[in-house]
Amino acid sequence: KKKLKISGRELVSVPKQVFGLDQLQVLEMSPERESCLRYRMELLPREISHLRNLTCLYLDSNNLKKIPAEIGTLSHLERLTLSNNSLSSLPLEIGALQRLRSLHLANNSLTELPAPLCQLRSLTFLDMSDNKISTIASSIRHLEKLETLLLLYNSLDSLPEDVCLLSNLRTLWLGNNHLRSLPASFGELVNLDWGNNYCSCNFEGNPLESPPPEVCSRGPEEIRDYFLSFSRT
């Protein structure tokens, strides 16, 4: 068996038999899109390390408070979803997941961008919306392949200049933070799709002053020109 979805009206633990399925590639233990179900798992067992062939692990909408260090042994993992839980931190070992391409962390209790994420060179999608993040580690620049970064509804009052080094970014949502200014090199993010149909760069709900919202909405060239005009004076 390579794919398994575990469902129950009030799932509180992982059946032990699951950890014997060493060929399992996809494990889903999430009530997403099933409003009649309510999951209450607080702990992911350390025995998750037995499932060495996992590529996708879905754990959204539980009550997880901790992820074990053994998560780092899942070397084939490409997709990990942990949104809508009660996580306040992530284990350092998550940085060992070098094949990880999609990581969902929205709506937890994280207060900063976890440092281990900076080691995930294959990551293309990072969702940390609706947490309580107030700072972003400058070493985020190491996420060289990152294409999507969602940081809506947090407490950011600044962005490190290193965000502008994420040259592969195509979607960056920054709405509903406390940003008053953007880094001077923000206009270098030329791969962002600024088209009205995609809204790939979102600033709504920020008290932006430099550059003002009307400049931001016009795209990277206008932002570059805005900062250039200051450097010439």
Q: Work out the end-to-end distance of the chain between its first and last CA atoms, rounded to an integer number of angstroms.
A: 67
Question: Which of 82, 12, 5 lies closest to 45 in space, CA to CA?
Answer: 12
pLDDT of residue 197: 52
Please give the Cα distance from 126 to 101 (Å, whole number).
Answer: 8
The confidence score (pLDDT) of residue 24 equals 96
Model pLDDT, residue 32:
66
Q: 69 to each of 18, 44, 55, 111, 222, how far by Cα in Å?
A: 19, 10, 17, 20, 45
- Classify domain 3-231 by CATH number: 3.80.10.10
Q: How many residues does the chain have?
A: 233
> What residues contact residue 92 under an 8 Å CB cut-off, 6+ apart?
69, 115, 116
Would you say the pTM of this structure is higher than 0.75? yes
Strand order through the sheet with 148-150: 3-5, 26-28, 56-58, 79-81, 102-104, 125-127, 148-150, 171-173, 201-202
Mean pLDDT by 10 residues, the chain (233 residues): 81 87 93 66 93 95 92 95 90 90 91 80 90 84 87 89 89 90 90 67 89 85 87 67
Of 75, 112, 113, the residue nearest 93 (C-alpha): 75
